[in-house]
Structure 1
Amino acid sequence: MSLSFSHSGKLYLLPTTLGDNDPLEVLPATVKQQMEKLTIFIAENEKTARRSIKKLLPEKSQPLLKFHLLNKHTDPLEIPSFLDACKEGQDVGLLSEAGCPGVADPGAEVVKIAHREGIKVIPMVGPSSILLAMMASGMNGQNFAFNGYLPIDKGERKNEIRNLEKLSLEKNQAQSFIETPYRNNKMLEDLILFLHPATRICVACDLTLASEFIATKTASEWGKTKVDLHKRPTIFILQKDY
C-alpha cells in the first residue's frame, strides 16, 4: 500500500551556507536546481533570504519572489496560511538563516503543519553545524543530544553544565549546545571552571569557512589554550568518560 498525499504542492527544505562562502562549495547542485524552480519561500528574514538566493542564483528574478516570514514576531495563527500555495498545487521552499531548516530552527513548526495537512515534505542535503561538529569531535556519535542554548544566569548555567556532564557519564551520551556568538568566550571559561578537569570539550567554530577551527581537549587542557571565539558561530560538545 503506497502513501498518498492530500495536495500536489510540496514543501522543500532548502539548506543554506553557514557563512559567507561560495554556496557551491557546500551545497549540492540539486539545491540550486530546485531553488531555480521556486518563487514562494518561507524564511526568518527576507533580506538575508534574498541574499542567499541571489548568491546561489544571480540571474534569478528577485521581484517575482514572494516571502512568508517565520520568526519570533510571527503570529502562530498565521503560519498555516504559509502553505496555502501547496494546497493549490505550487511548491514552496523553506529556508534557514544558516544551515538546515527545521534543526535548531523555527521552520520545524511549518514542517509539522505540512505533515498534518498531508503535504509532502522533501529535505535537501546541506551543511548542518550540529552534525559536522559531532563528526569531527571524536565523541559518541551513536548517542548524543543537542540542548540548544544554556541558561544565562550564572547559577543556573553552572547547574545545567554539571547536569549535562552527569548525563554524559550516566548515558555515555555526548552533549552539544550553542551560545550567542558574543558570549562564546565566556561560555568556554565557564565550561573550564565548572567541569571536571578530565571531561572532554569539543569547540567547533566557523564550520565550512576558511577560518574553521575544531579541537577536542580536556577541560584542564583548554585552561592552558588561547583561542578567541568572539562573534564566531560555535558548537560546544562535552563528554565525561569516567
Structure 2
Amino acid sequence: MTGTLFLIPNTLGLNQDQAPDLLASIIPETVQSISAQMGFLIAENAKTTRAYLKFLGQRHPLRLPIQAIQISELNINTPAHALEGLLAPLKQGHDAGLISEAGVPAVADPGANLVRLAHQHGIQVRPLVGPSSLLLALMGSGLNGQSFAFHGYLPTDAALRAKRIKELEERSRKEKQTQLMIETPYRNTAMLEALANHCQGNSLICVATDLTLHSESIQTMTVTEWKKRVAANQLPDFHKKPTVFLFLAQ
C-alpha cells in the first residue's frame, strides 16, 4: 500500500518579529499539525524548509528532529528522470509532503509534474489549505474574479514583453478576463512601467505586494492614474518584494 502525498502550504513570508502564535492566522492549525508529522519532505530548497520547520516546531512538536527528516529537493533544475526517485518513500508506504517555498505547492511552483506522476502511480494526493498569493491578490484587486488567467513571468526583453502585454490586454478586453502575472522582485518597477506604457488608459492595473505580511499593500487604479504615479516617482513600496500584477481591460 502506498503512502499519501500531502501538498503542504508554506507562508508567503515571515516578518522577523512575527511570533509563532500568529502562524495560525496564515496556516490552519490542522495543517500545521499534519506538517509537523512528516518524516519525508520534497522541497524547492532544503535550507529554507528547515528554517520553516524550526519555526513550525515552536507551536507543534515535530515527530522527528529536523536533522532526521529526509528533505529531497525539487526545483526548476531537477531533471524529469529524477521524479520517480522522489516518490520512492511513498511507494514504500510512507506519507510524504510536497512543500512550496512560499504559498501552495504546484501553483506557480515546480511541483505539478510530481503530483501528476503520483496520480499515474495511484498514489493518493491530498492538498492542504494555505495561502495563495494569486488568489489573495485577485480577491483584493476588485477585478473580475469570474474569469481570470495566470501567465507566470512575461518576457524580459522589452519589445517581446510589450507585444505580450498588448496581446493579453486584447484577450482581456474580448473575454472580460483578469490577467495575472509575477515578476522577479528586483524587476517590479520595470514591470509596472511596461504595463502603464503599453495598456490603454482606462484599463485597470492592480499591484499586490507582501500579501499576508504587516507590509501588505494592494492598489488598484487605471493606467492613466498609474502613469501619473510613475511620472511623479510615486511608486508602491515593492522593490525586491514579492508582488503579483493584475490587469483588466475596460
Q: Is the 8 A contact 2:143 2:248 kept in 1?
A: yes
Structure 1 position 91, deviation (Å): 0.2
Q: Residues 209-242 of structure 1: CA distance to partner in whole angstroms, max 9, x if unpaired? A: 000000110011112231232101000001012x
Structure 1 position 29, deviation (Å): 0.5
Where does structure 1 lack aligned partners over 5 or more consecutive residues?
1-6
Q: TM-score, with normalisation over the residues of structure 1?
A: 0.94
- 3-state secondary structure, aligned to 2:67: coil
Correspondences of 1:14-33 after superposition (within 5 Å): 14-21=8-15, 22-33=22-33
Structure 1 position 75, deviation (Å): 2.4
**Deviation beyond 2 Å, 4+ runs, structure 1:** 21-25
Counterparts of 2:165 and 2:23, CA distance in 1: 35
Q: Is the 8 A contact 1:23 1:55 kept in 2?
A: no
Letter in 1 for 2:10: T
Residue 57 of structure 2 is aligned to residue 57 of structure 1: yes
Structure 1 position 23, deviation (Å): 2.6
Counterparts of 2:131 and 2:36, CA distance in 1: 19
Structure 2 residue aligned with 1:167: 171
Structure 2 residue aligned with 1:230: 239
Correspondences of 1:102-181 after superposition (within 5 Å): 102-181=106-185
Counterparts of 1:222 and 1:161, CA distance in 2: 16
Where does structure 2 lack aligned partners over 5 or more consecutive residues?
16-21
State the identity %. 46
Structure 1 position 200, deviation (Å): 0.3
Structure 1 position 155, deviation (Å): 0.5
Structure 1 residue aligned with 2:19: none
Structure 2 residue aligned with 1:8: 2
Residue 229 of structure 2 is aligned to residue 240 of structure 1: no
Counterparts of 1:75 and 1:151, CA distance in 2: 23
- How many residue pairs get aligned? The number is 235
Structure 2 residue aligned with 1:212: 216
Structure 1 position 133, deviation (Å): 0.4
Structure 2 residue aligned with 1:34: 34
Structure 1 position 53, deviation (Å): 1.2
- 3-state secondary structure, aligned to 1:201: strand
Letter in 1 for 2:35: M
Structure 1 position 8, deviation (Å): 3.4
Structure 2 residue aligned with 1:4: none
Counterparts of 1:75 and 1:166, CA distance in 2: 36
Counterparts of 1:220 and 1:18, CA distance in 2: 31
Alignment root-mean-square deviation, CA: 1.1
| Residues 46-55 or 225-234, more deviating | 225-234
Q: 1:194 aligns with which of 190, 194, 198?
A: 198
Q: Is the 8 A contact 1:185 1:228 kept in 2?
A: no
